[in-house]
Amino acid sequence: MKVVNSLKGLRKRDRNCRIVRRKGRVYIINKKNPRYKARQG
């Protein structure tokens, strides 16, 4: 999992990326390709 400043660019990399908020942190999750997981905050 990557920790990044801005998730906007990462979300565009794949069609299946979803932005999720959990416990005050913003995550990108991708069920089809878990390689694209990222976290902000």
CA-to-CA distance for 11 and 31, rounded, in angstroms?
13
Give me the residue spans of the domains in the chain: 2-40
Which amino acid would we find at residue 16? N
- What's the pLDDT score for residue 24? 93
CA-to-CA distance for 25 and 34, rounded, in angstroms?
18
Mean pLDDT score of the chain:
91
- What's the pLDDT score for residue 11? 87
8 pLDDT higher than 90? no
